[in-house]
Amino acid sequence: MNPSIDLEAAKAAFFASGGQLVVLEGFTYQPLPQRKHPEPCRKKRKGPPPVQNGTRQEMAMARADMVAKMAETMTCREASLELNVSQSSLWDMAKRYGFKFLPGNRGKHTETPETKDRDARLAERIRALRDVGVSRYAAVLKLEIGHSTLNRIVEKFDIDFPRKRPRR
């Protein structure tokens, strides 16, 4: 019928049959134990012990002198590859100690024996295309080279390849 009346009847029957009320202990909070960190210690150095020949400033100056001597004949990239040091640290050193590296070859053509042969073959083909009456643009497409390469070879081998076709 009514749930509350049924619950009261069940409780009365439980106590009448000898049942006893047991009070359970509630939840008690226990904080976590405090962490135990190891005592700090110095790191052990790997490898042979360092050679102490002067102060750090003296060693830095000696290294800067060595790099400055290399900078007279090398670019920063070449020096970094030889010394196994980053280019940014070499640029910082150059700025700090007042020396400059040789400028790099930024996209400029460098002469090698292979490129000399290739350029000579391209010059022959450019002359042949010019004699046939092909435009510069068509020659670039036919030879699959860039305009800058065509201009460089035309100037290098003194080929008379006009920029515009003569009007007829």
In a domain, 80, yes or no: yes
Look up the pTM and report it. Answer: 0.41
Residue 150 and residue 118 in one domain:
yes
| Paired strand residues for 102 | 75
Residue 62 and residue 92 in one domain:
yes
Angle among Cα 141, 142, 148 to the nearest 5 degrees reads 50
Residue 90 and residue 124 in one domain:
no
In a domain, 18, yes or no: no
> 165: pLDDT confidence band, cut at 50, 70 and 90?
low
- Boundaries of domain holding 91: 56-97
Residue 117 and residue 92 in one domain:
no
pLDDT tens-digit readout, 86-105:
999 999 999 999 999 998 87
In a domain, 49, yes or no: no
* Neighbouring residues of 160: CB distance < 8 A, sequence distance ≥ 6: 130
Question: Which of 48, 68, 97 is the C-terminal boundary of a domain?
Answer: 97
In a domain, 29, yes or no: no
Residue 69 and residue 93 in one domain:
yes
Q: How many domains does the chain have?
A: 2
Residue 150 and residue 117 in one domain:
yes
Residue 109 contacts residue 140 (beta carbons within 8 Å):
no
In a domain, 3, yes or no: no
In a domain, 63, yes or no: yes
In a domain, 5, yes or no: no
SS3 of the chain: the string is CCHHHHHHHHHHHHHHCCCCCCCCCCCCCCCCCCCCCCCCCCCCCCCCCCCCCCCHHHHHHHHHHHHHHHHCCCEHHHHHHHHCCCHHHHHHHHHHHCCCCECCCCCCCCCCHHHHHHHHHHHHHHHHHHHHCCCHHHHHHHHCCCHHHHHHHHHHCCCCCCCCCCCC
pLDDT tens-digit readout, 43-87:
888 877 766 667 778 888 889 999 999 999 999 999 999 999 999
How high is the pLDDT of residue 113?
84
Question: Which of 97, 123, 146 is the C-terminal boundary of a domain?
Answer: 97
Q: Which amino acid is at 99?
A: F
Residue 126 and residue 150 in one domain:
yes
